[in-house]
Structure 1
Amino acid sequence: MYTETDQPQVAQPQAGSPSSSKHDLEATAPGQLRVIKRNGTVVPFDISKIAVAMTKAFLAVEGGTAAASSRVHETVDNLTKQITATFKRRMPSGGTVHIEDIQDQVELILMRSGEHKVARDYVLYREEHARLRAAETSPAAQEVAADPEYPTVQITLDDGSTAPLDMARVRTIVSEACEGLEDVNERAILDEAMRNLYDGVSLHDVNTSLVITARTLVEKEPNYSYATARLLMDKLRAEALGFLGIAEAATQAEMHTYYARALPAYVRKGVELELLDPELLNFDLEKLGNALLAERDLQFTYLGLQTLYDRYFIHSNDVRIELPQVFFMRVAMGLAVEEDNREERAIEFYKLLSSFDYMSSTPTLFNAGTLRPQLSSCYLTTVPDHLHGIYGAMQDNAMLSKFAGGLGNDWTPVRSLGAYIKGTNGRSQGVVPFLKVANDTAVAVNQGGKRKGAVCAYLETWHLDIEEFLELRKNTGDDRRRTHDMNTANWVPDLFMKRVFEDKDWTLFSPNDVPDLHDLYGAEFEARYTHYEQLAAEGKLKLHKTLKAVDLWRKMLGMLFETGHPWITFKDACNLRSPQQHVGVVHSSNLCTEITLNTKANEEIAVCNLGSVNLAQHIVDGQLDREKLATTIKTAIRMLDNVIDINYYSVDTARASNLRHRPIGLGVMGFQDALYAQHIAYGSPEAVEFADVSMEAISYHAIEESSNLAAERGRYSTFEGSLWSKGQLPIDSIDILAKERGLDYLQQDRTQRLDWDTLREKVKSQGMRNSNVMAIAPTATIANITGVSQSIEPTYQNLYVKSNLSGEFTVVNPSLVRDLKAHGLWDSVMVNDLKYYEGSLQKIDRIPAAIKQQYATAFEVEPRWIVEAASRRQKWIDQAQSLNLYIAGANGKKLDVTYRMAWFQGLKTTYYLRALAATTTEKSTIDTGSLNAVSAGGGSAPSAAAPAASASAEPQAAPVPQACSLDDPDCEACQ
């Protein structure tokens, strides 16, 4: 048999030595198989050792006659080949196999071949040697390793000494990880993890083996994601509790005691290391520690917990000193630091965050309670038309980006290429060279390595540089006039869209010749723009260009399809529906097109503070729980308002603006999961209706709570004269847009269900605490943390591998798995089919049509449903929404119809256009059951596709390199 004594230690052969020749190649076949011996030594798999051991067993039974020897040789040769073939099938790419597995296989093959006497002798031999090994084990080792099913493993401790692995504790950790999870097999994790351990392994690697084992099972059963997270928690507990001097390790059950001790120790240590605000020491830490709920550690998926560990938890010398509930309490304390009853408020905020009913945006999670609490998500600026102001804006960008802010820059005032410069009596190089500098600034200042710096440049469609602006993200042309990392967006006036619909001309100007157009919108813009066109026709404005509006529109759509930029956003809808039009102009949106706040060069940098309601958590018994939603929003609005006063402002102009207007942006995430919970398909009238109903409820309670805060804390300073002060709520501002644009160019539902008249009167009398209240952000990372679908997005794929800064994660749609199980359809064949069809159900015949419709992926949902649902939401929102448009088989006609529809139905902004991926999920693991791989070309993310030479022609799909993290369907630059 294949015994440890038969398998010698193998040293690395020297090049050219006899041992590095043919024999060594045979010894490691098949693939790169290796054997773990009982003492933990890892050696090459050697076929000859199996043959020698089996030959000894045969000769011991049959004797050594010539006839017997001849039969033995033939039999052993045949059986050895069968055993080798078995392991080759199991691990075609190589791997590690335990010596007991080999001996089990030898025993099995002997029995199957009818060699019962040899098999019996073989079994007795194994039992005798097992008894001898046990007798040789020291008493101390026997005491620790007294496990009837797994061999003793010696682990290496931090000080270099060794000790037996405590299997009783390992069993406890795995048992806790699987507790309460359906279809999760504790034994499956233990067996596979223990096979991969060897003597000398570190305790850290023991945890890694458990985590990796559970993680590979996620694609077969989504609940293994929770089990994996709980196994990872063992590592987190040891790291944090050990650093704080509380315990070297702890089980989940012990955390009910340890958490209360951990919080005070953590705050004291964090202040000592100058990582936390010393003011946190003045909280009643014992009271707050006792409020921590250890059981909420069990809510995390693996992706959520790993993301927190890698990027959010505060660390010292790469040692994380936070645990999940301590993390949430730190954020809560940071947001409650200026409250009168701050312990009670901190506990209230903590309970909301840790419940996953609501989540603050990433900058708030990063920085709350720290020495520099930069908690805001978005900053919007206007760049003036002079060098001092331009480079001052660059410095502002750098400082804001340094502390995790996303940027939106309005570049429209900067004069165009060829415009006259009085100071030098020369001609301008236009806006593009400055955009190149802004691009490189965003790359250089990457938010301390936590996430990529990100900025979006906006330009109005009448700017003379607009055609070159459209090409900034192209991969061809003069690279000095390209911005491969920066996002761009078109700030489109209604007049241009009307000219497109009417097939009329459009005129481009340099802003220094038409300076007032920048601040005008609606009817006033149309009148003034027409006046400038007349001046140009009369020869009184030399620098201009006239072209067909449709031709420019086609180029806009062509570049959007080819490069993903510039995004299309609508100036007039943003301004005419703005509550703050009495004190300024919205000149752009932000990095992710959901913020619409006033900016003014050198005077106002707009700031917005974001957080999102987890809509999926508010579906109870298949319906939206209005009472729970109201409770969540009440606390969330208070938390967002607190950010304004606590926030660290790296630029004074931003501070002045934020304190003056106090805007906040409450959004949503988990919209798709909320539909799943109600068995509603995204592409359906029912989904559109739910988008309307849910957003109306959120809008109602958010406005009501901001008004209640005004009664408690005072109105924001510019309330008088706002739409709020006139009793005009977001739903009412549609009338303003309709009047200015014309009824022929607006089709937007205005149905109301709640008691808005009472709320209008409350707002007029009490006022508002915040100038703006709602905005729907992408929520990519915070949705990962809470384990739900991001923002308002349809499901990207039902099974795919997500790649982000934390690594690669298999993502399986748990709602789909639940429904397929109910129909008896979830099995390994279905997993294979989902991989093969890129997470799509449409070509899998055995799946019922109703399930196919409900679980249609993003590219299988008609764009009209996405636009219609967005239109219904937009009517309730005082700002905007990050709206990605998914178009399968995109061509010029589809793009034209979709974007005209977006404007026609009253949307303020759109975000990414996503075409089908040029690269796809690698299928090499379909039959092996191992973790999915991702192709080197960019993974499973959809990418832009290059159009044909003519923008009016049918674009042809072709891969385009993606430079920005935003080009991933799970964007992480904003939230």
Structure 2
Amino acid sequence: MSKTTSAQASPTTTVLKVRKRDGREVDMDRGRIESAIEKAFRAELNLAEGQPLASQIEQDVLAIIDQVYDFASGDAASGCLSVEQIQDVVEIGLMQREHFRVARRYILYRTEHARLRAVRHVDSGLDELSIDNSSSVPQLRLQIEPGVYVAFSEAKLKAFLESIPESTLPNIETSEIVAEVIRGSFDGMTPEDIARALVLSARSRIERSMDYDRFAAAMQLAIVYRQTLGLTQIDEDFADTYRDRFEHYVIEGIRCGRLSEQLRSFDLSRIADALLPERDKLFRYLGVQTIYDRYLLHVDGRRIETPQYFWMRVAMGLALREDEDQRTDRAIEFYQLLSSFRFTSATPTLFNSGTQHPQLSSCYLTTVQDDLAHIFKSIGDNAMLSKWAGGLGNDWTSVRATGSLIKGTNGTSQGVIPFLKIVNDAAVAVNQGGKRKGAVCAYLEPWHLDFEEFLDLRKNTGDDRRRTHDMHTAAWIPDLFMQRVRENGTWTLFSPDEASDLHDTYGRRFRERYERYEQLAAAGKIKQHRQVSATELWRKLLTRTFETGHPWVTFKDPSNIRSPQDHAGVVHSSNLCTEILLNTSEDETAVCNLGSVNLAAHIVDGRLDHDLLKATITTAMRMLDNVIDINFYPTVEARNANLRHRPVGLGLMGYQDALHRLQIAVASDEAVEFADRSMEAISYYALLASSQLAAERGRYESYNGSKWDRGLLPIDTIELLQQERDTPVDVDRSTTMDWQVVRDAIATHGMRNSNCLAIAPTATISTIIGVTQSIEPTYKLLYAKSNLSGEFTQINEPLVDVLSEHGLWDAQMLDSLKYHDGSLADIQRIPESLKRLFATAMEIEPKWLIEAASRRQKWIDQGQSLNLYLAKPSGKSIDAMYHLAWQRGLKTTYYLRSLAATQVEKSTVDVNRHGIQPRWMKSQSQSGQIRVDRMPTAAASACSIDDPDCEACQ
């Protein structure tokens, strides 16, 4: 290709400028651009200088150069491009024309020369820690690339830290961090080693001041930026480069098989312009570290996503089924919501949205049939569902009990337990596609003959072939059993093959059929049965729940009687985290599609901002509904159920943070009232949004005959439960909003979704955005959190703010908090009003959590992951707690927590100074059937699945 041809092809006579890296501006030289591109092609194609290029390649080279000139001419501000901008345009042009290998070579060329410039001290950032005669550590060398060493510079390290805006925060001592990094340094460290050392040093000081949390976050972001953008936040034109590189990211992600080709259908220029790099500063350190470790897409270990690219990728993935002319606008709308931290989709959606395998759903619920082929099909389905990051809830009540006749072989069955052992091992083997441990929960009704052995599955003693140490278990309890316990009556266990309809009945119908089977058993017409004391069986269940954390206590009748879909099947179980309550059958695997509102972000000027909440929920419900059509379904049964019923589960997080902002103690009538009113608002706007979607997109397929169709809202179904029980369901039924508006909308348009509301644990997504989990009270005010990202000191920021206002936050207070294991209760300096406001989970009576949950449950069409806490558990207190939950009409409960094993490190605490033994050390001996005399055993996380196993529905 001749230079004459190149000159003749010039599209403009305007003299354009190039800004060199040293600041000089020179005339743009078309020949130099052409030469650089040609060299990349020749190097890739192994062509000698002077050897002609193919005609198509010559045309592509000219077209790319034209792109550069068009881009420069369109820059109305200056008509001057930087060298980096020209290289960006060339790189995009090569990828657009599918010269991917040449583009890769061009990228490597740019990277190599950037490193060489670092050696010559041209660029800024960590690579500039090169030769400096003033260095106080000349004996150390920095390895900037394999085999290339330069002297380490303490002065430049300090200069880099001080150029980070967060270094100016009041309590940051950069000299301390530099000194610590140098003490731990070694000859041959890489810039990446230094970056990690900076993060670890800053993070170790978070307990001293929350300023270090923001500083550590900035250090971790610098690592992200260097991998994704090749620069850091201190570089000039950082924000422009952040946006300019977005299209590169999309093309690279598609080329590497990480992103869906469909992302090209968006207006990528508008998408890039909508990015808000400054929102990266909203992340706290643990949030940045969490997304870096598990959520940001990577290629060969190098992250290709910044935090805002991550949010935008999720948003674009959720907008793929929007009308083409609205797709970009919707993606930007979704991005604005996600990046503002007002709403966050669940982990599987964050993992997979916009990728080639968009498995966006959180949990799957299945019913296992009493058939060997179906049992192993179900185990295989578990594997496929788990591979794509789904959490699993399996209903095993249909499977015949131990000793039952196998007609085909004339042998006897070994019952449910051996199959559950296989399920347990399969969940471990298929570890969610290599990202995290698989997670499954098995459900069984207490009339099943194998139920007593089911209670022992999580014990650490006994025949290990009949133990499931890695699987969760839950009891699916009918009202009749609870009534028999209250009456101290007898309870009869059956095998499902002789009492099969018990599995599919509930309420009065269940009672009638169960009592009929008891009569048949008494008459000798049922072979397999056994009578036990209902109270003794209940006591054994609670003892196992206390000892092992399992089984969870869930209630069959309220889950079915209050279900909107009672016309279309039966709810046979909940899910992995006990908040999803959907019908299952042989041909339908229920699917839950989750996301959570950050309630704390909607407290504005001391009140719940309804306008903001409505806007958030309207967009969030659209995003959740889109999941159903975009989703990759690992099994046919999952697809059948999701497309037919279109259920979603909008939940909430940051509840305790919201109470702090309102200055309300969690153990108070005001908190119970706030739980009621906030959930009423969320329910109101969610149901209204689903009805509006129905007006736009149509009703869900099985709508006719549903409770929605019959004019029944969740609050109306409390009366139905009371009628079926023949005993009062003592729940406040007051309302404060004009519900006729919602009723009229549903009557006119119907509903887009069979179910709309479910409160999941949010263990991980709440960490990402830096708020308290779900509806949880504060676990501790200072504690060490463990998950797959490591162990992190967590301190309650609202507490620090309040104590600072009162002049009480100092080193002595930190020391006291450590000694008393994150509790204010025994710290004498603290006023009683603050102790009440910041009471932790173990310091409040569980009745407050149950009362608040009952107020929420009246508005929710599914359930809530409700953890219960007892600092001093006894048989009597545990029994009373679960009976209260049942009486208040709760559908499910989750973990029973005593005290946490994860204690804050106390090696720096002078125990002689405090004079009082911390509560967690005190031996406890309580009356009742369960004796407590032990060290703490439960995990600090409100959801132990995240501590550190998985985040299946988080």
> Secondary structure of 1:157's partner?
strand
Q: What CA distance in whole angstroms lies between the structure 2 residues aligned with 1:406 and 1:501?
A: 34
Q: What CA distance in whole angstroms lies between the structure 2 residues aligned with 1:588 and 1:747?
A: 24
- Counterpart of 2:197 in structure 1 is 209
- Counterpart of 1:924 in structure 2 is 907
Kept in 2: contact 1:727–1:761 (CA 8 A): no
- Counterpart of 1:314 in structure 2 is 297
Could you tell me which of 420, 426, 435 is aligned with 2:420? 435
Could you tell me which of 565, 569, 579 is aligned with 1:580? 565
- What per-residue deviation string (whole Å, max 9, x for no partner) do you get for residues 756-780 of structure 1? 1221121111100000000000100
Shift of 1:190: 4.6
- What per-residue deviation string (whole Å, max 9, x for no partner) do you get for residues 183-235 of structure 1? 44455545544565566432122222322221121001123111101111111
Note closer, same or farther for the CA distance 1:946–1:518 as it changes in structure 2 (3 Å cut): farther
Could you tell me which of 702, 718, 723 is aligned with 1:718? 702
Note closer, same or farther for the CA distance 1:748–1:148 as it changes in structure 2 (3 Å cut): farther
Note closer, same or farther for the CA distance 1:418–1:195 as it changes in structure 2 (3 Å cut): closer
- What per-residue deviation string (whole Å, max 9, x for no partner) do you get for residues 910-958 of structure 1? 0000112356333113369xxxxxxxxxxx9x99x9999x993535436
Counterpart check, 1:176 vs 2:155: no
Note closer, same or farther for the CA distance 1:314–1:626 as it changes in structure 2 (3 Å cut): same
Note closer, same or farther for the CA distance 1:144–1:313 as it changes in structure 2 (3 Å cut): closer
- Counterpart of 1:734 in structure 2 is 718
Structure possessing the higher radius of gyration over alpha carbons: 1
TM-score by length of 2: 0.82
Kept in 1: contact 2:491–2:534 (CA 8 A): yes
AA matched with 1:549: A
Shift of 1:144: 7.7
- Counterpart of 1:66 in structure 2 is none
- Counterpart of 1:284 in structure 2 is 267
Q: Percent identity?
A: 56
Could you tell me which of 342, 349, 356 is aligned with 1:357? 342
> Secondary structure of 1:228's partner?
helix
Shift of 1:148: 8.4
Q: Superposition pairs for residues 460-479 of structure 1, below 5 Å?
A: 460-479=445-464
- Counterpart of 2:225 in structure 1 is 237
Counterpart check, 1:563 vs 2:542: no
- What per-residue deviation string (whole Å, max 9, x for no partner) do you get for residues 300-331 of structure 1? 11111011011111111111111100111111
Could you tell me which of 940, 949, 954 is aligned with 2:931? 954
AA matched with 1:966: I
Kept in 2: contact 1:610–1:667 (CA 8 A): yes
- Counterpart of 1:30 in structure 2 is none
Could you tell me which of 499, 503, 513 is aligned with 1:528? 513
AA matched with 2:890: L
Kept in 2: contact 1:563–1:960 (CA 8 A): no
Kept in 2: contact 1:796–1:969 (CA 8 A): no
Q: Superposition pairs for residues 400-479 of structure 1, below 5 Å?
A: 400-479=385-464
- Counterpart of 1:158 in structure 2 is 145
> Secondary structure of 2:337's partner?
helix
Q: What CA distance in whole angstroms lies between the structure 2 residues aligned with 1:919 and 1:632?
A: 36
> Secondary structure of 1:801's partner?
strand
> Secondary structure of 1:568's partner?
strand
Could you tell me which of 633, 642, 651 is aligned with 2:635? 651
AA matched with 1:686: E
Shift of 1:263: 1.2
Could you tell me which of 604, 609, 617 is aligned with 1:633? 617
- What per-residue deviation string (whole Å, max 9, x for no partner) do you get for residues 261-310 of structure 1? 22100110111111111111222111111111010111111111011011
Note closer, same or farther for the CA distance 1:463–1:206 as it changes in structure 2 (3 Å cut): same
Shift of 1:171: 3.0
- Counterpart of 2:769 in structure 1 is 786
Note closer, same or farther for the CA distance 1:177–1:552 as it changes in structure 2 (3 Å cut): farther
Could you tell me which of 668, 693, 698 is aligned with 2:677? 693
> Secondary structure of 2:245's partner?
helix
Could you tell me which of 803, 806, 831 is aligned with 2:786? 803
- Count how many residue pairs are aligned between Structure 1 and Structure 2: 817
Note closer, same or farther for the CA distance 1:954–1:198 as it changes in structure 2 (3 Å cut): closer
- Counterpart of 1:374 in structure 2 is 359
Counterpart check, 1:590 vs 2:571: no
Could you tell me which of 550, 555, 571 is aligned with 2:535? 550
Q: What CA distance in whole angstroms lies between the structure 1 residues aligned with 2:723 and 2:473?
A: 30
Q: What CA distance in whole angstroms lies between the structure 2 residues aligned with 1:263 and 1:825?
A: 46
Counterpart check, 1:681 vs 2:665: yes
Q: Structure 2: where are the runs of 5+ without partners? A: 1-119, 912-917
- Counterpart of 1:395 in structure 2 is 380
Q: What CA distance in whole angstroms lies between the structure 1 residues aligned with 2:627 and 2:887?
A: 36
Q: Superposition pairs for residues 484-499 of structure 1, below 5 Å?
A: 484-499=469-484
Q: What CA distance in whole angstroms lies between the structure 2 residues aligned with 1:451 and 1:250?
A: 31
Counterpart check, 1:759 vs 2:725: no
TM-score by length of 1: 0.80
Q: What CA distance in whole angstroms lies between the structure 2 residues aligned with 1:869 and 1:149?
A: 61
Shift of 1:180: 7.4
> Secondary structure of 1:780's partner?
coil
Note closer, same or farther for the CA distance 1:533–1:372 as it changes in structure 2 (3 Å cut): same
Q: What CA distance in whole angstroms lies between the structure 1 residues aligned with 2:128 and 2:172?
A: 30
> Secondary structure of 1:417's partner?
coil
Q: Superposition pairs for residues 806-821 of structure 1, below 5 Å?
A: 806-821=789-804
Q: Structure 1: where are the runs of 5+ without partners? A: 1-137, 242-246, 929-939
Shift of 1:801: 1.1
Q: What CA distance in whole angstroms lies between the structure 2 residues aligned with 1:378 and 1:946?
A: 38
Shift of 1:174: 4.0
> Secondary structure of 1:379's partner?
strand
- Counterpart of 1:129 in structure 2 is none
- Counterpart of 1:38 in structure 2 is none
Kept in 2: contact 1:946–1:960 (CA 8 A): no
Q: What CA distance in whole angstroms lies between the structure 2 residues aligned with 1:946 and 1:582?
A: 50
Q: What CA distance in whole angstroms lies between the structure 1 residues aligned with 2:497 and 2:505?
A: 15
Note closer, same or farther for the CA distance 1:952–1:236 as it changes in structure 2 (3 Å cut): same
> Secondary structure of 1:322's partner?
coil
Q: What CA distance in whole angstroms lies between the structure 2 residues aligned with 1:159 and 1:475?
A: 50
AA matched with 1:786: I
Q: What CA distance in whole angstroms lies between the structure 1 residues aligned with 2:204 and 2:602?
A: 31
AA matched with 2:290: T
Q: What CA distance in whole angstroms lies between the structure 2 residues aligned with 1:947 and 1:607?
A: 44
Kept in 1: contact 2:161–2:167 (CA 8 A): no
Note closer, same or farther for the CA distance 1:164–1:347 as it changes in structure 2 (3 Å cut): farther
Q: What CA distance in whole angstroms lies between the structure 2 residues aligned with 1:347 and 1:927?
A: 53
Note closer, same or farther for the CA distance 1:145–1:619 as it changes in structure 2 (3 Å cut): farther
- Counterpart of 2:951 in structure 1 is 972
Note closer, same or farther for the CA distance 1:456–1:194 as it changes in structure 2 (3 Å cut): same
Kept in 2: contact 1:556–1:566 (CA 8 A): yes
AA matched with 1:219: E
Shift of 1:254: 3.6
AA matched with 2:953: C
Q: What CA distance in whole angstroms lies between the structure 1 residues aligned with 2:473 and 2:522?
A: 31
AA matched with 1:917: A
Shift of 1:160: 3.0
> Secondary structure of 2:786's partner?
strand
> Secondary structure of 1:298's partner?
helix
Q: What CA distance in whole angstroms lies between the structure 1 residues aligned with 2:184 and 2:431?
A: 39
AA matched with 1:235: I
Shift of 1:422: 0.9
Q: What CA distance in whole angstroms lies between the structure 2 residues aligned with 1:202 and 1:876?
A: 56
Kept in 2: contact 1:238–1:250 (CA 8 A): no
Kept in 1: contact 2:785–2:902 (CA 8 A): no
Counterpart check, 1:221 vs 2:206: no
Q: What CA distance in whole angstroms lies between the structure 1 residues aligned with 2:871 and 2:938?
A: 19
Note closer, same or farther for the CA distance 1:685–1:180 as it changes in structure 2 (3 Å cut): farther
Note closer, same or farther for the CA distance 1:617–1:139 as it changes in structure 2 (3 Å cut): closer
Could you tell me which of 511, 516, 529 is aligned with 2:501? 516
